[in-house]
Amino acid sequence: MTAGYRLKQRGINFQILEASTTFGGRMKRNLGFADFPLPMGAEWLHARPEVFDMLIANSTTKVAVQTLGYDKNDVYAFWDGTVLKRANLSGETDLKFINSSWFDFFEHYIVPFVIDEIKFQNPVTTIDTPQGRATVQTQSGQEFSGDAVIVTVPLKMLQERRITFVPHLTQSKTHDIDTAIFWEGYKAFLEFDEQFYPAYTEIGVTPSASGQHGFYDASYGQNTQRHILGLFAVGSAARPYLRMSEDVVAQLILSQLDEIFDGKATPSFRKIITQDWSNEPHIGGAYIQDHEDWKRVRQLGNSVGSSLYFAGEAYTDGEEWGSVHNAALAAKRVVDQLW
């Protein structure tokens, strides 16, 4: 969507081929569980708010997105499997969206400029890039042609060979696609009658580089009286939850919380909503691992020839990766290269 938005600003014709029935992908949002938007995927802003203006690149548009940083005195806890250790959440730089989300930002500022050019339910099956041109075929049998194509699918789709490239990608490009680690991903939100948990509770993962696991106060900073706890799990930490029914996951999470917080979870539990990103048919997981080799990420983001480009959270310049703003800035970089 960012690439389309930038192309629109420059008067370049484009079309977005979207595999699913809606836009947003891993920015999915839920409006019915709580009295504020719940980000079922991308949640935090891992940059300064100025990045919104950078993405809009329009001096006449004032971005009104409210974010909130954590207080250095907020409680951070670490559970090592036996003991819960508490400290102050000092040094945390991530920002929370207040009464909005990444999805809301795109829905308000980006989507109106590109919605007419999105072809929904059009998974791409073949990309043919003869010199100076690009032809794309979709599962429905449609064919689209242009001067260039920007591939923005999640890395897992390339690893599973969902798209055939003609000519074949280089051996080095294919090797980096296959060896990069695309983390499994799972999120859940649980409502309780009371708040018995701190702002963030990290669950120890072994080895530490294999994933992340934590519970956090999803109501933090929101204008609400409801107690919503979020679960975030990627990599090896997500695997116990994957492809399980919601009831089974609820019992698993409540058992974990009861152990950590002295049995306070189950008596206070009201309801749960879950999101298994590894089971999404056109996504297959969360994002490229935090500990990836920056050289590999840069190679993933490099173009092939003059008509095949890559942009997204896994296809950056290697400086940063794995977040929405990096994905959007990667699209900006590619469009700047093209035109």
What 3-state class would DSSP assign to 202? strand
- Which pTM was predicted? 0.96
Residues 6+ apart with CB under 8 A from 108: none
Fold (topology level) of 2-23+106-181+287-338 = FAD/NAD(P)-binding domain (3.50.50)
| Range(s) within the chain of domains with CATH label 3.90.660.10 | 70-93+183-279
Instruction: Report pLDDT for 294.
Output: 98
- Render pLDDT for 160-197 as a digit per residue (tens, 0 to 9): 999 999 999 999 999 999 999 999 999 999 999 999 99
Given a contact cutoff of 8 angstroms between Cβ atoms, the answer to whether 315 and 330 are in contact is yes
Euclidean distance between CA atoms 258 and 246, whole angstroms: 18
Euclidean distance between CA atoms 184 and 259, whole angstroms: 25
For helices 171-179 and 294-301, the axis angle rounded to 10 degrees is 130
Segments of the chain with pLDDT less than 70: none
Instruction: Report pLDDT for 61.
Output: 87
Report residue 185 as tokens.
Answer: 């991903």
Instruction: Report pLDDT for 305.
Output: 93
Instruction: Report pLDDT for 327.
Output: 98
Instruction: Report pLDDT for 131.
Output: 83
Euclidean distance between CA atoms 29 and 21, whole angstroms: 14
Instruction: Report pLDDT for 28.
Output: 98
What is the per-residue burial (b if ≥16 Cβ within 10 Å, else e) of 71-82? Answer: eeebebbebeee
DSSP notation for 61-74: ------EEEPPTTS
Instruction: Report pLDDT for 92.
Output: 84
Q: What is the CATH number of domain 70-93+183-279?
A: 3.90.660.10
Residue that has been written with the tokens 């260039």 in this structure: 148
Rounded alpha-carbon distances, angstroms, from residue 334 to 23, 289, 310, 339? 20, 22, 8, 9
Given a contact cutoff of 8 angstroms between Cβ atoms, the answer to whether 85 and 77 are in contact is yes
Euclidean distance between CA atoms 116 and 136, whole angstroms: 19
Instruction: Report pLDDT for 65.
Output: 96
Euclidean distance between CA atoms 22 and 15, whole angstroms: 15
Instruction: Report pLDDT for 266.
Output: 98
Q: What angle do CA 47, 49, 52 make, to 5 degrees?
A: 100
Instruction: Report pLDDT for 132.
Output: 83
